[in-house]
Amino acid sequence: MEQFKGFPAKSQFTAVPNAFFSTLLPQISDIAELKTTLHIFQTLYQKRGYPRFTSYRELLGNKSLMSSLKEAKGSPDEALRNALEMAAQRGTILHLVMDRDGTPEDIYLLNTESDRQTMAKLQGGELKLSGLELKEPALIDASEPPDIFSLYEQNIGMLTPMIAEELRDALKVYPENWISDAIKEAVSNNKRKWSYISAILERWTAEGRDDGTYRGDSKKTGPDKYLKQKYGNIIQR
């Protein structure tokens, strides 16, 4: 490794919120998430105008960031997707799926008070981004509903390897229609993240659904099988 030669006399600086060092940094253990978060700070700090946001496509084209992710597990683009998912779930950034000429485009804002207001305006149609439109969720009640992996990607966000594994684990525990309905409820409540969907499923398991069914009523499999799965401790509560 070539030794760093030091900072030049007239260096430019990027502003980083103090809360990052006091609150977020102690929580972040994944190096790819840390590198991606710092690059997002730099990218947004250099932007001008309103609103300030970045996108997956823009970050993917950041040579410095992608070079730094080469040593991460998996390919650099896979590492970037995982890092963005972790940062969004942690609450560092806000994630919206927009539409650019029929192609989904993931955009990211910092989780600040002003950017939360910006996100609400985008979702409410009060604010428009040039060339981008808010992606409408796919119709869930179609005659041939998509599998939950497609359903998640169409309505919630990027289907990262980590999320795909969560969905596969959930399929071992919950009926597929429960997962689909939980995704639908998350979209209805504008809570587009896996942790919220998972909480819905856990609540239905513990308390039953509004239609009076419990997971044990499902014809998919008997209740004894669920007790042996990853979330068996939740079922027994």
pLDDT tens track, the chain, 237 positions: 689 989 999 888 999 999 999 999 999 999 999 999 999 999 999 999 999 999 999 999 999 999 999 987 778 999 999 999 999 988 999 998 888 888 889 999 999 999 999 988 888 889 998 888 876 654 444 444 568 888 888 788 877 778 888 999 999 999 999 999 999 898 888 888 899 999 999 999 988 887 656 555 544 443 444 444 444 444 444
Q: Is residue 186 part of a domain?
A: yes
Let me know if 189 is exposed, middle or buried by CB neighbors in 10 A (0-12, 13-18, 19+): exposed
166 and 228 share a domain? yes
Q: Is residue 80 part of a domain?
A: yes
Beta carbons of 82 and 32 less than 8 angstroms apart: yes
Alpha helices, DSSP H, located in the chain: 18-19, 31-45, 56-60, 63-68, 76-90, 113-124, 148-155, 161-173, 176-188, 194-207, 223-227, 232-235
Q: Which residues constitute the domain of residue 156?
A: 148-235
Beta carbons of 184 and 140 less than 8 angstroms apart: yes
Number of domains in the chain: 2
b (16+ CB within 10 A) / e for 93-123: bbbbbbeeeeeebbbbbbbeeebeebbeebe
178 and 72 share a domain? no
Which strands sit side by side in the sheet containing 54-55, from one edge to the other? 54-55, 103-110, 93-100, 133-134
124 and 181 share a domain? no
Smallest CA-to-CA distance from 114 within 44, 172, 161, 174 is with 44
Domain final residue, candidates 94, 112, 134:
134
127 and 159 share a domain? no
Write down the pTM of the prediction.
0.61
Smallest CA-to-CA distance from 138 within 120, 157, 122, 123 is with 157
Cα separation of 138 and 147, whole Å? Answer: 12
120 and 182 share a domain? no
Which phi and psi angles does 101 have, rounded to 5°? 55, 45
Q: Is residue 177 part of a domain?
A: yes
Q: Is residue 3 part of a domain?
A: no
Domain final residue, candidates 81, 104, 134:
134
- CATH number at 231 reads 1.10.10
29 and 101 share a domain? yes
Average pLDDT of the chain to the nearest whole number:
83
- CATH number at 51 reads 1.10.10.10
Q: Is residue 93 part of a domain?
A: yes
Domain final residue, candidates 112, 134, 156:
134
Which helix (H) or strand (E) covers residue 94, if one does? strand 93-100
29 and 123 share a domain? yes
> In sequence order, what are the residues at sequence separation of 6 or more whose Cβ sits closer than 8 angstroms to the Cβ of residue 206?
234, 237
116 and 41 share a domain? yes
